Structure 1
Amino acid sequence: MAISTGFAFSCRPHFPLSQSMRKVFMSCSAAIEAIEEIDSGKEPAEWKRFNSKELGISSSMIARPTRVVLNGLKSKGFEVYLVGGCVRDLILKRTPKDFDIITTAELKEVRRTFSHCEIVGRRFPICHVHVDDEVVEVSSFHTSGIRPVRNLGLSFEKPVDCDEKDHFRWRNCLRRDFTINGLMFDPYSKLIYDYMGGVDDIRKAKVQTIGPASFSFIEDCARILRAIRIAARLGFRFGRETALSIKNLSSSVLRLDRVHGEHLFLSVSMWKAPHGNELHVGLWLC
């Protein structure tokens, strides 16, 4: 079963929640397809390497400030990759909102490489490199390596036929949210590394988590809202397991109001259309 998404929004944007109620309605509907899906994360995906030209990606699609940072780090002998949503958007022939870089350089080495660079963040620090009035975010394999790797030992095994560098990249991809965001692009070798089946899910227009959806959403409840936003923006669909996990764990996003200082009311429902083979999911935030 698969669920494709379509969303509508209604809100009063110019007043804080303490002065007026803001209501947002998000609805998803889809025909139930006659296919059998594997629950996300239950079996390790066969990892692949893709030539970026085969996927229609050229260096000219990378914004100039990002190229400046990539070239600066590469000239110092460091490995550099584009990661996350920007790789996904390049494959989809969309202009990325921003480009995220990960490098083998330590953050202090990144800061020494660029004159206008600062390290931000305490728990998970990254570098902000300023180029042409733009900010390029750079993270380090060394910094990300100190983050605890989710306990996916029962869901994922180390990819076969991979060397030490592949294992290094794979472990980093395990920390990401969705398979379509778990891609690494080396613009110099022109290779895209896909350890989580992200390219296949892009081709299927599907959003699914890395690892079981219930575990992923418990680990970070903000992923529920990110999943909905990504699906709405790209016109992608959810698998049944992801949709049910969103429904069952949706109340966990109430924790976010402690961060933003807003009081939220949330209601989630799932129903089947009286006529036709459709499944609907509704999410209300007030």
Structure 2
Amino acid sequence: MQVKDTFVGSAVIVGRRFPIVHVHDNNSIVEVSSFNTYVRGSSGNQMPTSKSPHCSKNDYLRWKNCQGRDFTINGLMFNPYSEKIYDYLGGIEDIKKAKVRTVIPAATSFHEDCARILRAIRIAARLGFSFPKETAYYVRNLACSVARLDKGRLLMEVNYMLAYGSAEASLRLLWRFGLLEHLLPFQAAYFSSTLFKRKDNGTNMLLVLFSKLDSFLAPNRPCHNSLWISILAFHEALVRKPRDPLVVATFALAVYLGGDLPLAVDIGQSINRQHDAGFAELLEPRMRGKKGLLAEVKDLAISMRQALTEMTDEYYVANAMAKIPQAP
């Protein structure tokens, strides 16, 4: 609350049990959390209070604070004045091993804060890390608990996964650990219908689209959430009704040209390059006149808008989840 009061009008509190504050500064967001963070409603005295006689007061305070962190690699502390790194949890060793490991037993950690499950996926996807067996087991078996999070927190976590250059890896991990159906059920239904396998490469159109998006993004160069949401709706529209590649290309041109559909159609008709129709969402190319191309591009736009509407409607979401064998 002190942070929010300091940045009046530009700070938003996110999270119920472990509050953090998003401070909006120009076009960026700075995430601020307290040095001493405990579950709301707790006494904050869960940690041992005794310390070694060889441990200084500052060392003890840092160590005690680290015990409340989620993952060992997030328990590293850096003193910018002395340029010294403090590692009380073995975080450096886990970085060397490329592992995302919880500070306390994974079952306890994820029961305490189920948002840590999504953070584990995000970190693993962004850094290319893996999970120790215990962490992986509870990520999968407690996946359904993320449904308890409020919608704002879920949107924030999904945005972290899809808007910062690691969307393809995030989607793969979300599917692998049974989380995709709780966050993006339409996309989970698509994965299920295509019998997607972990090692499939280049045959899943949704992953290819996000792989292309990732090539333009980075943790310090994210996109707005409207872009990845539009990609989801665009792909869902193609799943429902596959299109000629030229229709898709012309639609993309219209978007790029700021909605100038007549110009996009003119350019589209001049394209004579052979299109790739190697995805189930794309039909074999065929000849058509200007009016026919215009009508099909408009129909794709309508279908995309309908898909976007249904992706946020509880009735249609429930129907999508019913198509996923592993969804409860």
TM-score, normalised to structure 1, is: 0.44
Higher relative contact order (CA 8 A, sep 6+): 1
Pick the structure with more helix per residue. 2
Pick the structure with more strand per residue. 1
